[in-house]
Amino acid sequence: MQFIADGILNASLIALGALGLSMTYNVLRFANFAQGEILAIGAYFALGAVTVIGAGVGVMGPIKFGWPLLVSIPVGIVCTAIVVLMVDYLVFRPLRNSNASRITLIMAAFGLSLMGRNLIHLFAGGDPKYFSFYIPKAIEILPGVKMVPDDLAIIALSAIAVVSLHMFLTRTNMGRMMRAVSENPTLARINGIDLKMIIRMTWIIGTALAVTAGTLQGHIFQAKAEMGFDMLLPMFAALILGGVGNLYGTVLGALVIGLAESFAVYFDLSAYRAAVSFMIMLAVLLVRPQGLLGERE
Amino acid sequence: MEFLGILSFLIFFLIQASFFSLTSIGLNIQWGFTGLFNVGIAGFFAVGAYTTGIMTGPRYAETWFGGFGLPVPVGFLAAIIITAIVATIIGYITLRLREDFLAISTFGIAVSIQLVANNLDELTRGPEGLYSLPKPLSNLSDSPLVDNALYLVICVVVIGLVYWAFERILRSPWGRVLRAIREDEHAAMAMGKNIFIFRLQAFVLGSATMGLAGALYANFIGFISPTDFLPIFTIQIFVMVIVGGSGNNLGAILGSVVMWAVWSASDSLIAAVVSPDFQTQAAAARIVLIGLILVLMLLYRPQGLLPEKHVVSAAGRMKLKGEE
């Protein structure tokens, strides 16, 4: 049973990152290979904010990360979003305007991902960084299942983020416009939707989700330059497994991938975690390429 | 002595450049001619290197498979076949689907191959790698210079053969279909071409070439470990092909030699100028620069240094002359 609890924690982080990936995939229409670096850069900005506030202050009862971490997430989101919007302006906007193919966009993202990782190496060094140094104490939540209170809080935070995204996309005008653009950009434009604004919003939301995932992941484990790159394959696998374009599918996909990964750890195959998500992805592409909840194109 | 030193450096440089050149030709048939985006170049290169390592290498105490000590040409052939099989599986699953699924899957295969290389000690000896791989023609003389010169000849012959074969097939009707698919897949489909089969052939052919390049590398260096096959390698090859000119095999070779010269020169520059405390930062800065070159090329000169030659059929040429 323990591995199910671990798997759900893992899945909640994958889900956040994959939802961000899904936003850029559906609205901007390309697989953003730099999503992992958005996640990592965000985690480093948040780490900076936590360090400024002072680690260890603001402990809230059994949850050790306290308010500094909650404050650092929006700080990380704002800083990272500025970087991401600048990169979009300098790289992706000109490529879109010159009608570059989808593959050219992916390739640019792949190059930017490499740059992002090494810029972290350059400015923050190659050693892993820690948000805190206390040793967490697990409590028994069900017979035989132990979890750290922080981890429970993180699962709850992720659930809140997913529900807010759902509310945003279905209940607000901006969300509806975004969905319209993802369905049919030309038709959306004819109806007077400002594409440029939608593109910026998409980047911001995708960044917000990635930075949240990165910061929480950094808190549980550590922050390092490759943290996002290592998450990329599970995130893509969740996206494809759930069905590209279906946000609920992405959450479901993340759940399956997260559980499968902790299953692999359970069977002492932790070294092959990333390969597990790849195998699931290949199997899905072979049997049901539209994903679990996706519709056939 | 001075002259011999320069000569031996030059030979070593050209041998290394030829690994990149061969890989670039392999990518060119996928990306340059057919428009397939392969993010797993390092993985296919690694499969070739490890295959020849297992086939031609000595028997290691801790592995339960391999160490067959077979002749090097057998290793090369095995590398081509195994890489082709891996590419066929990936291609069969993903090439029918939307184009970015190929990118994601090739990325996945490269990550998985890296994991196998790092963790399957019984086959790959993990991070310690395979060592003492045989180098062909090295028993003919005692001088390392002659050894390397002979190996350069092997590399040049292999690249020459591959180049000649690719130029021939790319000029054939088969090659025209590839370009047609790249320009407009629906038009190609309407002409009755099974674009899936053509894409699969181009993908497997290109990947097998990368596997051969990996084998050539493994038997020259004599030692391979997982850190030889990092994602940076994939980016380097893309930069080489794009700088040289995608869709032009001579351009791919030129791009490889030029970019490898830039890379090696910056290596020596960092070693000479940067103090040892900052070497790792300088190395990171250099990788940032490679990424920047890729992005700038995509933005400002996507056609590269040697753009693709537009091929017009003999009948078309006559018609053009007639119109003048």
Higher pLDDT, residue A249 or B277: A249
Q: How far is A146 from chain B (nearest CA, A)?
A: 29
Work out the pLDDT band at A245, boundaries 50, 70, 90: confident
Question: With an 8 Å Cβ cutoff, are A126 and B119 in contact?
Answer: no
Question: With an 8 Å Cβ cutoff, are B105 and A95 in contact?
Answer: no
B302 pLDDT above the threshold of 90: no
Extents of the domains making up chain A: 2-287
Q: How far is A232 from chain B (nearest CA, A)?
A: 9
Q: What is the rounded CA–CA span in Å between residue A37 and residue A207?
A: 10
Please tell me the least confidently modeled range out of A104-113, A172-181, A215-224, B59-68.
Answer: B59-68
**Helix/strand/coil for B63:** coil
Question: With an 8 Å Cβ cutoff, are A107 and B238 in contact?
Answer: yes
pLDDT at B324: 40
**Helix/strand/coil for B224:** strand
Q: What is the rounded CA–CA span in Å between residue B199 and residue B157?
A: 27
Structure confidence by residue, pLDDT tens digits, B16-48? 999 999 999 999 999 888 888 899 999 999 999
A-contacting residues in B 38-97 (Cβ below 8 Å): 39, 90, 93-94, 96-97
Rounded to 5 degrees, what are φ and ψ at B256? Answer: -65, -45
pLDDT at B316: 54
**Residue appearing with tokens 């750890």:** A265
What is the enclosing helix (H) or strand (E) of A77?
A: helix A66-87
Work out the pLDDT band at B9, boundaries 50, 70, 90: confident
Structure confidence by residue, pLDDT tens digits, B176-222? 888 888 888 888 888 888 888 889 999 999 999 999 999 999 999 88
What is the enclosing helix (H) or strand (E) of A141?
A: strand A139-142
The answer to whether A15 contacts chain B (CB < 8 Å) is no
Mean residue pLDDT across chain A: 86
**Which of B39, B90, B302 is closest, CB to CB, to A110?**
B39
Q: Quick one: which of A256, A215, A218 has its CA closest to A234?
A: A256
pLDDT at B14: 93
Question: With an 8 Å Cβ cutoff, are A91 and B232 in contact?
Answer: no
Ramachandran sector of residue B134 (left: φ over 0; alpha: ψ -120 to 50; beta: rest): beta
pLDDT at A294: 74
Structure confidence by residue, pLDDT tens digits, B83-138? 999 999 999 988 888 778 888 999 999 999 998 888 887 788 888 888 777 888 77
What is the enclosing helix (H) or strand (E) of A139?
A: strand A139-142
Query: Most B CBs within 10 Å: which of A33, A97, A107, as the mutation test of the B interface?
Result: A107
Report, in angstroms and rounded to the nearest whole number, the Rg of chain B calculated over CA atoms: 21
Quote the tokens at residue B142: 């005692």
Q: What is the rounded CA–CA span in Å between residue A291 and residue A284?
A: 6
Q: Quick one: which of B60, B48, B74, B56 has its CA closest to B133?
A: B56
pLDDT at A61: 60
| Mean pLDDT, range A114-126, rounded to an integer | 88
Of A77-81, A288-292, B246-250, give the range with the top mean pLDDT.
Answer: A77-81
Mean residue pLDDT across chain B: 86
Amino acid identity, position B146: V
Amino acid identity, position B235: I
Quote the tokens at residue B107: 């990325």
Is the domain spanning A2-287 CATH 1.10.3470? The answer is yes
Share of chain A above pLDDT 70, in %: 93
pLDDT at B63: 75
DSSP, res A90: I
**Helix/strand/coil for A105:** helix
Q: Quick one: which of A2, A26, A36 has its CA closest to A181?
A: A26
The answer to whether A112 contacts chain B (CB < 8 Å) is yes
CB atoms within 10 A of CB B94: 28
Chain A residue nearest residue B235, CA to CA: A111
Of the CA atoms within 13 Å of residue B243, those in its CB half-sphere come to: 23
Q: What is the rounded CA–CA span in Å between residue B234 and residue B45?
A: 9
Higher pLDDT, residue B65 or A218: A218
Q: What is the rounded CA–CA span in Å between residue A210 and residue A20?
A: 6
B-contacting residues in A 233-252 (Cβ below 8 Å): 233, 236-237, 240
Structure confidence by residue, pLDDT tens digits, A215-228? 988 888 888 888 98
Long-range Cβ contacts of B181-188 (<8 Å, 24+ apart): B181/B34, B181/B35, B182/B33, B182/B34, B182/B35
Those residues with Cβ within 8 angstroms of residue B64's Cβ, 6 or more apart along the chain or in another chain: B122, B123
CB atoms within 10 A of CB A86: 10
pLDDT at A135: 66
Question: With an 8 Å Cβ cutoff, are B112 and A274 in contact?
Answer: yes
Quote the tokens at residue B135: 């180098």
Kindly indicate whether the ipTM for this predicted assembly is greater than 0.90, answering yes or no.
Answer: no
Q: How far is B226 from chain A (nearest CA, A)?
A: 14
Amino acid identity, position A262: S
pLDDT at B42: 94
pLDDT at A141: 73
| Mean pLDDT, range A257-277, rounded to an integer | 85
Higher pLDDT, residue B47 or A60: B47
Q: Quick one: which of B19, B54, B80 has its CA closest to B236?
A: B19
Contact B15, B155 (CB under 8 A): yes
pLDDT at B165: 94
What is the enclosing helix (H) or strand (E) of A123?
A: helix A102-124
Amino acid identity, position A131: F
Amino acid identity, position A278: F
DSSP, res A7: H
pLDDT at B206: 95
Structure confidence by residue, pLDDT tens digits, B217-255? 999 988 899 988 888 899 899 999 988 887 788 889 999
The answer to whether B311 contacts chain A (CB < 8 Å) is no
DSSP, res B305: S
pLDDT at B323: 45
Quote the tokens at residue A3: 């591995």
pLDDT at B1: 59
Q: Quick one: which of B284, B254, B299 has its CA closest to A91?
A: B299
